[in-house]
Amino acid sequence: MSSIHPHARVDLPAGFRAAGVTAGLKASGSPDLALVVNDGPDHHAAAVFTTNRVEAAPVTWSRQVVADGRVDAVVLNSGGANACTGAQGFLDTHRTAEHVADVLGISAGDVVVCSTGLIGELLPMDKVTAGVDAAGAALSPAGHEDAAVAIKTTDTVHKVAAHAGEGWSVSGMAKGAGMLAPALATMLVVLTTDAVVEQADLDAALRRATAVSFDRIDSDACMSTNDTVVVLASGASGVFVDGGQLSEALTIVCSSLARQLIGDAEGAAHDIAIEVVNAASVEDALEVARAVARNNLFKCAVFGNDPNWGRVLAAVGTTRAAFEPATLDVAMNGVQVCRSGGVGEDRSLVDLDAREVHVLVDLHAGRESATIWTNDLTHDYVHENSAYST
Amino acid sequence: MSSIHPHARVDLPAGFRAAGVTAGLKASGSPDLALVVNDGPDHHAAAVFTTNRVEAAPVTWSRQVVADGRVDAVVLNSGGANACTGAQGFLDTHRTAEHVADVLGISAGDVVVCSTGLIGELLPMDKVTAGVDAAGAALSPAGHEDAAVAIKTTDTVHKVAAHAGEGWSVSGMAKGAGMLAPALATMLVVLTTDAVVEQADLDAALRRATAVSFDRIDSDACMSTNDTVVVLASGASGVFVDGGQLSEALTIVCSSLARQLIGDAEGAAHDIAIEVVNAASVEDALEVARAVARNNLFKCAVFGNDPNWGRVLAAVGTTRAAFEPATLDVAMNGVQVCRSGGVGEDRSLVDLDAREVHVLVDLHAGRESATIWTNDLTHDYVHENSAYST
């Protein structure tokens, strides 16, 4: 089902070590605990988190850790989200950070914690701490791929990406396959760079990069309680990189990872780009694209290779964006099925067999544009999500 | 799949005739054109329409017809929505009204037109006009059931309801099985009463009734281009009914029809009541209930009889309603699975086998409450909606 092909191996930039181990949190026995350590000399960091008001304990913890701009290590577990777990859940996150700090000889206040999996269950802390011990022992400059594998939940493939500057680089790993929605997804992302950067530049560059990548995928309109994207900068390359270059590099890596998330979304059979052009504002373009991306009837139609463009129009009509219904144009995979709000070219000309689908909505209301990537709604999506907790 | 049992026959109030015929608009050969005529003495009417900005030609037409408060007849067709059909679509609606007017000897400006079916196709007008002729010839005071059958699209059963006052009554028919969303659904509803009423009372009563019935069902978050609810008052009973009584009667009939729509929603296996209590405002309660009702992951879980309450919390967390995450309580079918934002009773105690599911969210933020009815997300929903236009 996935369009993601085996990718080239991605290694860590200079100054980092990582590991991925099996702590026994997953019933499957697959790797489920990862550790990424920044050995410096710099320890700059920035992060963005879910905007869900019901946030998991590790999110609450990690917000505080990142607030001072320094992070020495990130510990991530799959097999349990540690969300809606009350005071005990927060204590467990704290204890995990303390244990990582003990193993590495650093401060717990510099350890970001990320968890993913089922909501509403406490983590088996004996397994978590044993896993941290094992990961600490396995840390290696060659550990990026192992860590990326260990953060998978229902992902069918692990996701990594990289971008090389002159004498410096950015690497990234991501997990996420469902609950992909705006303001992030059910996703955890660790970005690493050996560039020498200003902390303020790192924070701004991360926000710019995520705004046009992870914030513009919307697989199923469901927002997670655990989403975290963290970037660590070691400065180990000795190469100073300004905010503009950094922003560009992070955007490239984040966009690749975001596209990989959509390509591996749970049960999806199509990856759909909803491109909205000639909008009065980027906000309008995003509102319209998101309305289409979230329309279950449209998503079912794409699954059935059915170019039911009326459902696109019906979705556009629910927005507050500037447009006149009588001037809307819609094309599907290059066929202008709707012209001036009415019937255009014959819908039977549209070929939806390929995994990638392009829907172009022309609002004729301005000069701005934006694209949201989404997926179709399939039997496999229903199947995979109908018995997750049992 | 449906929980709707065969209901008692519902007849028209005094002063009305109706018919349902086969015009040949549906490939299936099922009845597809209905006519409801108010013979008076009064011809008061009111209507509410979809808030979708992309509205079908018949909606544009009917808004104007109802503006003066007088309607003599309603013509409804299934087998084609006449939406996104441009100037020709509007001309076709106008021509349909003119033809009804000719057949009945009334003014086209007093004829409401409703269409439902595929968006983006012109109606075969020769079949429509021939169907109007046939319906005109078949008009009968006993025609309510036939008309209700003729407006079905993917409905598995026709929907009717009635409420009797002292010497007067209200009857209603509805169609709709998908695209059920706020600000109405893909639904057409004709309400008839023989009460003697003030036109202003009729309008206010209809708005009050729809606000707490059709506006509180949300099967799949998709808003239609054609939704219309129209009420006609003939005054033929000779019994004056004030606004309060009328509002109560219309609310009873609309609530029954709304519940029937959810019970017959496309492919659904569960009808789910999301009840939000102790909200700071009714608006907050509705926002929270709707967020849960629209969460695909939650809806899949219910289909799988999986009490995955974390998905309820994750949905609540996306809203702006007043609440503290640490005080949220959630019960599913009476089992308090989430207490104070954390783990409550064992989720395995929840029995989701029955079609009707009750989710109770306590915001602990005020004294208001509201309930939204929705459906689960099923294989059959995906199947029915993956090849509708082909």
Q: Do B308 and A388 touch (CB under 8 A)?
A: yes
Residues of B in contact with A338 (CB under 8 A): 84, 120
* Orientation angle between helical segments B243-263 and B199-211, nearest 10 degrees: 40
Contact A300 B119 (CB under 8 A): no
Residue B328, chain A, CB below 8 Å: the answer is: yes
Q: In tens digits, what is the pLDDT along chain B, a chain of 390 residues?
A: 233 344 679 999 999 999 999 999 998 999 999 999 999 999 999 999 988 888 999 999 999 999 999 999 999 999 999 999 999 999 999 999 999 999 999 999 999 999 998 888 999 999 999 999 999 999 999 999 999 999 998 888 999 999 999 999 999 999 986 544 444 446 899 999 999 999 999 999 999 999 999 988 888 777 788 889 999 999 999 999 999 999 999 999 999 999 998 888 888 999 999 999 999 999 999 999 999 999 988 999 999 999 999 999 989 998 999 999 999 999 999 999 999 999 999 999 999 999 999 999 999 999 999 999 999 999 988 888 887 655
Mutate to test the interface with A, among B179, B219, B297, B335 (most CBs of A within 10 A): B297
Q: Which of A121, A222, A319 lies at the smallest CB-CB distance from B296? A: A222
Please list every residue in chain A whose beta carbon sits closer than 8 Å to the beta carbon of residue B53: 316-319, 323, 325
| Percentage of the residues of chain A whose pLDDT score is greater than 90 | 79
Q: Nearest CB to B52: which of A297, A317, A387?
A: A317
Chain B hits for A341, CB-CB cut-off 8 Å, are 54, 84, 86
Cβ pair A309:B120 closer than 8 A: yes
Q: Is B226 annotated for ligand binding?
A: no
What contacts B353, CB < 8 A, 6 or more positions away?
B305
Q: How far apart are CA B184 and CA B99, in angstroms?
A: 28
pLDDT at B118: 86
**Chain A residues touching residue B307 (CB < 8 angstroms):** 389
Q: Mean pLDDT across the stretch A56-72?
A: 97
Active-site residue (options: A96, A116, A154, A186): A186
Find which of A351, A375, A382, A383 to mutate to test the B interface (most B CBs within 10 Å of its CB): A382
Query: Are A292 and A273 contacting, i.e. CB atoms less than 8 angstroms apart?
Result: no
Per-residue pLDDT at A184 exceeds 80: no
**C-beta atoms of A382 and B379 within 8 A:** yes
Measure CB to CB from residue B119 to each of A306, A314, A328 and give the nearest one: A314
| Residue B127 among known ligand-binding residues | no
Confidence of residue A382 (pLDDT cuts 50, 70, 90): confident
Interface contact A300-B386, CB threshold 8 A: yes
Residue of B nearest to A379 (CA): B379
Are A89 and A117 in contact, with CB atoms under 8 Å apart?
no
The pLDDT of residue A181 = 43
At B177 the pLDDT is 63
pLDDT at residue A189 above 60? yes
Q: Taking Cα atoms as reference points, which of B43, B177, B215 lies closest to residue B112?
A: B43
CA A117 to CA A219: how far, in whole Å?
17
What is the CA angle B279-B281-B283, rounded to 5? 110
Give the pLDDT score at A8.
80
Question: Does the active-site annotation cover B85?
Answer: no
Q: What is the DSSP string of A270-319?
A: -EEEEEEEEESSHHHHHHHHHHHHT-HHHHHHHHTT---THHHHHHHTTS
Q: How confident is the model at residue A280 (pLDDT cuts 50, 70, 90)?
A: very high
3-state secondary structure chain B: CCCCCCCCCCCCCCCEEEEEECCCCCCCCCCCEEEEEECCCCCEEEEEECCCCCCCHHHHHHHHHHCCCECCEEEEECCECCCCCHHHHHHHHHHHHHHHHHHHCCCHHHEEEEEECCCCCCCCHHHHHHHHHHHHHHCECCCHHHHHHHCCCCCCCCEEEEEECCCCEEEEEEECCCCCCCCCCCCEEEEEECCECCHHHHHHHHHHHHHCCHHHECCCCCCCCCCEEEEEECCCCCCECCHHHHHHHHHHHHHHHHHHHHHCCCCCCCEEEEEEEEECCHHHHHHHHHHHHCCHHHHHHHHCCCCCCHHHHHHHCCCCCCCCHHHCEEEECCEEEEECCEECCCHHHCCCCCCEEEEEEECCCCCEEEEEEEECCCHHHHHHHCCCCC
B347 interaction partners in chain A (CB closer than 8 Å): 120, 389
Provide the shortest C-alpha distance from residue A193 to chain B (in Å). Answer: 32
The mean pLDDT value for A334-344 works out to: 94
CB contact under 8 A, B85 and A342: yes
Candidate list B186, B192, B210, B374, residue with the active-site label: B186
Q: What's the confidence (pLDDT) of residue A388?
A: 62
The predicted pLDDT at position A385 comes to 81
Domains of chain B: 16-263 (3.60.70.12), 271-385 (3.10.20.340)
- Cα distance between the two ends of chain A: 24
User: Which chain B residues contact residue A381 at CB under 8 A?
Assistant: 296, 300, 382
pLDDT at B333: 97
Q: Which of residues 252-311 of B touch A (CB under 8 A)?
A: 294-297, 300-301, 303-311
pLDDT for residue A2 is more than 70: no
Three-state DSSP state, A140:
strand
C-alpha distances out from residue A182 to A58, A110, A227, B67, B271, Å: 20, 28, 11, 41, 28
Residue A356 among known ligand-binding residues: no
The pLDDT of residue B154 is: 81
Per-residue 3-state assignment (H helix, E strand, C coil) for A69-118:
CECCEEEEECCECCCCCHHHHHHHHHHHHHHHHHHHCCCHHHEEEEEECC
Residue A266, annotated as binding a ligand: yes
Mean pLDDT score of chain A, rounded to an integer? 92
- Rounded to an integer, the average pLDDT of A107-130 is 95
pLDDT exceeds cutoff 60 at A111: yes
The three-class DSSP label of residue A269 is coil
Q: Which of B50, B292, B296, B311 to mutate to test the interface with A (most CBs of A within 10 A)?
A: B296
For residue A378, the distance in angstroms to the closest alpha carbon of chain B comes to: 6
CA B154 to mean position of chain CA atoms? 14
Nearest to A317 among B54, B301, B305 (CB): B54
Per residue in B116-125, pLDDT (tens digit) is: 988 889 999 9
Residue B351 forms contact with A (CB below 8 Å): no
Alpha carbon of B315: minimum distance to chain A alpha carbons (Å): 7
Query: Which residues of chain A does B337 touch, with a Cβ-Cβ cutoff of 8 Å?
Result: 120
Helix axes B86-104, B125-138, angle to 10 degrees: 20
The ipTM is 0.85
H/E run at residue A384:
helix A379-385
